[in-house]
């Protein structure tokens, strides 16, 4: 390990030139899943006017999944992939022609889907190939990547609740044992990202520190300050066991296959949880030491670390929210 901090590329229209012409910067907010991405995207949509005044355009999942990246990933025939690449270049060129200096793209599925992670029992195993294709389609415009990471045991638990609520089959104990034994961690995801986008400034934000703070994530993406939203609510939160049983029953699945209790579903054994937590601790240590110069860990010394995960009930900022966050960390 070198411990070196990667050189920071300035964000803005003056950052990149080709043949003497200024190019628009592309900023990718990749999630990951289950780290408040829906809340972040909602926050951005509420600030579109302010972003427009700064010549910043925004593509969220409603745009990317409908008209931007279809046909780019998976086992797509080469002619369809080229068509998808051309569509990305065309849409980016149109934004540039409108005078946009910075294009912010936020879609956690760019990393891959939760369903595919479960299928391979690994964190985003195809992220390198996916982001390499996307970066090429943007023609070297990707200037920054913002990635939120989370303790692996809780990331997988939250992803389990999400996929089950959406009708996917529940996984057995063998699958969770396979996940716990996987050598792949956030370090591997970040390394793959760096290889796919070698010129991008990669910022890594621990969910435990920045949960419920979309304004801070947006500031990290754009180098622009934004005020917190006092009416912020946590969107697309994981269902607690009680509600998840109800959903399964409505889907025709036996709800008794879930464990008893009313709190968060934790599908891992205590030993598996400890193993996953140790991997996450190693990831954070690597990031703190400089991530071999591949990425930069975003730290916030002005606020106590949040709890490992937001509470299962609706989150609303304010004194009660702060008290719950501190209580969870105890």
269-278 residue pLDDT tens = 999 999 999 9
Q: What is the pLDDT of residue 134?
A: 94
Q: What is the pLDDT of residue 303?
A: 59
Laid out side by side, the sheet with 296-297 consists of: 56-59, 102-106, 25-29, 142-149, 201-206, 296-297
Spatial distance between the Cα atoms of 234 and 312, rounded to a whole number of angstroms: 10
Q: What is the pLDDT of residue 74?
A: 64
The whole model's pTM is what? 0.83
Taking alpha carbons only, the member of 125, 120, 237 closest to residue 171 is 120
Q: What is the pLDDT of residue 71?
A: 62
Tokens representing residue 222 in the block: 């754009």
Helices (H), the chain: 37-45, 48-53, 61-63, 78-97, 114-120, 127-137, 152-165, 173-181, 186-196, 207-210, 214-222, 241-250, 270-288, 319-329
Instruction: Say if residue 53's pLDDT is above 90.
Output: yes
Spatial distance between the Cα atoms of 22 and 25, rounded to a whole number of angstroms: 9
143 φ, ψ (degrees, to nearest 5): -100, -30
Q: What is the pLDDT of residue 301?
A: 64
Q: What is the pLDDT of residue 75?
A: 59
Write the pLDDT tens digit of every residue in 118-162: 999 999 999 999 999 999 999 989 999 999 999 999 999 999 988
Q: What is the pLDDT of residue 198?
A: 97
More confident site: 77 or 315: 77
Burial class for 285, CB neighbours closer than 10 Å (0-12, 13-18, 19+): exposed
Taking alpha carbons only, the member of 57, 134, 61 closest to residue 98 is 57
Whether residue 116 contacts residue 71, with contact meaning beta carbons closer than 8 Å, is answered with no
The least confident of 49-63, 79-93, 196-210, 258-272 is 79-93
Spatial distance between the Cα atoms of 166 and 114, rounded to a whole number of angstroms: 11
Q: What is the pLDDT of residue 164?
A: 85
Instruction: Say if residue 15's pLDDT is above 80.
Output: no
Q: What is the pLDDT of residue 163?
A: 87
Q: What is the pLDDT of residue 82?
A: 77
Instruction: Say if residue 16's pLDDT is above 50.
Output: no
Average model confidence (pLDDT) across the chain = 84
The least confident of 17-26, 48-57, 169-178 is 17-26
Q: What is the pLDDT of residue 310?
A: 47
322 pLDDT tier (thresholds 50, 70, 90):
very low
Q: What is the pLDDT of residue 246?
A: 84
Instruction: Say if residue 314's pLDDT is above 90.
Output: no
Q: What is the pLDDT of residue 242?
A: 83
Spatial distance between the Cα atoms of 300 and 8, rounded to a whole number of angstroms: 18
Q: For 295-312, what is the mean pLDDT?
A: 66
Instruction: Say if residue 49's pLDDT is above 80.
Output: yes
Q: What is the pLDDT of residue 70?
A: 67
Q: Which CATH architecture has domain 13-152+184-235+279-310?
A: 3-Layer(aba) Sandwich (3.40)
Write the pLDDT tens digit of every residue in 31-47: 999 999 999 999 999 99
Instruction: Say if residue 253's pLDDT is above 90.
Output: no
Which helix (H) or strand (E) covers residue 205, if one does?
strand 201-206
Tokens representing residue 140 in the block: 């070297």
Most distant pair of Cα atoms in the chain: their distance: 65
Spatial distance between the Cα atoms of 142 and 129, rounded to a whole number of angstroms: 15
Tokens representing residue 114 in the block: 């939760």
């Amino acid at each position: 390990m070198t411990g070196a901090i990667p050189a920071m590329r300035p964000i803005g229209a003056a950052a990149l030139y080709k043949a003497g012409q200024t190019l628009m910067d592309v900023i990718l907010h990749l999630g990951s899943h289950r780290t408040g991405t829906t809340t972040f995207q909602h926050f951005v949509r509420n600030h579109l006017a302010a972003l427009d005044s700064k010549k910043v355009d925004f593509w969220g999942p409603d745009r990317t999944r409908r008209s931007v990246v279809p046909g780019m990933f998976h086992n797509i025939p080469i002619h369809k992939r080229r068509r998808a690449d051309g569509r990305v270049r065309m849409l980016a060129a149109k934004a540039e022609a409108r005078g946009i200096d910075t294009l912010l793209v936020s879609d956690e599925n760019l990393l891959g889907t939760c369903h595919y992670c479960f299928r391979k029992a690994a964190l985003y195993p195809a992220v390198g190939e996916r982001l390499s294709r996307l970066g090429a389609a943007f023609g070297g415009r990707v200037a920054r990547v913002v990635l939120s990471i989370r303790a692996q045991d809780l990331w997988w638990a939250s992803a389990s609740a999400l996929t089950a609520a959406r009708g996917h089959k529940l996984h057995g104990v063998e699958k969770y044992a396979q996940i716990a034994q996987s050598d792949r961690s956030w370090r591997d995801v970040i390394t793959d990202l760096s290889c796919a986008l070698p010129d991008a400034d990669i910022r890594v934000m621990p969910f435990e520190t920045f949960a419920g703070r979309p304004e801070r994530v947006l500031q990290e993406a754009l180098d622009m300050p934004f005020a917190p939203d006092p009416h912020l609510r946590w969107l697309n939160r994981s269902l607690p066991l009680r509600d998840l049983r109800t959903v399964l029953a409505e889907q025709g699945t036996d709800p008794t296959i879930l464990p008893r209790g009313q709190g968060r579903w934790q599908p891992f054994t205590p030993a598996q949880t400890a193993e996953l937590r140790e991997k996450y601790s190693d990831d954070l240590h690597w990031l703190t030491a400089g991530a071999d110069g591949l990425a930069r860990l975003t730290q916030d010394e002005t606020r106590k670390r949040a709890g490992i995960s937001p509470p299962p009930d609706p989150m609303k900022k304010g004194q009660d929210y702060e008290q719950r966050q501190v209580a969870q960390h105890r």
